[in-house]
């Protein structure tokens, strides 16, 4: 079922949090028609928006997912950030993803990054998940507030980040790019801007990307599993970085 309205390049965002955050975030002025079940349409956060009442089946047909939670909305294309603006962020933390392809992983990482106060996320233009409605849902709407930028070449971006005064730390359980990883709590994440670099599902960091990092680190594994998922690794490391920065500021 096609979306109503005249927003050029419109997509259908679905789920309570994604729609709510779209109404509060960078796409707020570019949200059009909203469809909601009769129960959802009465919720306080939709007051004044005059959603069109629709059945759950109609909403599922419109957004293409059963995970709509009774609401979906027409929105403009996702507004990617300019990478130059992210590099001008001074002492913030950026997350760079090397060909992460699972929309659920991208969304989960964006949600954690936003909650941990990261300045933005950088993803490649090719062979990587982009910000789709499924990613919006997986991020619980965090992508509406967290800047996400796309770059043609991630290794070149890391070189640019170094010139801008940022330090890049790549997660790798094994030596890569001519570097051996240190424990994840060994680097000094304080002071200068930081780029946390995470590899793709199953493959990890590509050699050239690993070689472009200033240092590699590994997370400890005490159980029987051979590795953490990329979203879990992002969460563990982002909060290690946050804790070190909070400790240094107190």
Round to whole Å and give the CA distance between 217 and 179: 10
Pick the more confident residue, 101 or 6. 101
Region 21-26: what's the mean pLDDT? 96
Beta strands 182-183 and 215-218 are parallel
pTM, entire model = 0.93
Contacts of 237 (CB under 8 A, 6+ apart): 171, 184, 196, 217, 219
Task: Give percent above pLDDT 70 in the chain.
Answer: 97
Pick the more confident residue, 201 or 109. 109
Q: Tell me how far CA of residue 216 lies from CA of 91, 179, 223, 246, in angstroms.
A: 20, 7, 22, 22
Round to whole Å and give the CA distance between 43 and 41: 6
The model's pLDDT over 210-245, given as tens digits with 9 standing for 90+, comes to 999 999 999 998 998 888 899 999 999 999 999 988
DSSP single-letter state for residue 226: S
Beta strands 71-75 and 31-36 are antiparallel
Looking at the chain, the number of H-run helices and the number of E-run strands are 9, 11
């Amino acid at each position: 079922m096609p979306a109503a309205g005249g927003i050029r390049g419109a997509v259908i965002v679905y789920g309570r949090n994604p729609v709510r955050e779209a109404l509060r975030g960078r796409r707020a002025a570019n949200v059009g028609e909203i469809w909601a079940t009769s129960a959802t349409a009465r919720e306080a956060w939709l007051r004044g928006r005059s959603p069109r009442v629709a059945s759950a089946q109609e909403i599922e047909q419109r957004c293409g997912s059963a995970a709509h939670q009774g609401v979906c909305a027409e929105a403009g294309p996702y507004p990617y950030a300019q990478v130059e603006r992210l590099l001008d962020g001074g002492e913030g933390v950026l997350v760079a993803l090397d060909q992460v392809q699972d929309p659920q992983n991208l969304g989960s990482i964006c949600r954690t990054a936003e909650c941990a106060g990261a300045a933005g996320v950088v993803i490649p233009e090719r062979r990587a998940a982009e910000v789709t409605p499924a990613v919006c849902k997986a991020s619980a709407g965090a992508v509406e507030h967290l800047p996400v930028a796309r770059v043609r070449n991630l290794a070149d971006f890391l070189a640019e980040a170094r010139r801008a005064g940022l330090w890049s730390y790549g997660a790798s359980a094994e030596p890569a790019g001519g570097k051996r990883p240190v424990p994840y709590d060994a680097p000094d994440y304080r002071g200068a801007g930081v780029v946390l670099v995470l590899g793709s599902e199953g493959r990890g960091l590509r050699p050239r990307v690993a070689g472009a990092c200033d240092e590699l680190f590994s997370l400890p594994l005490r159980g029987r599993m051979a590795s953490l998922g990329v979203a879990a690794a992002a969460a563990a490391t982002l909060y290690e970085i946050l804790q070190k920065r909070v400790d240094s500021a107190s």
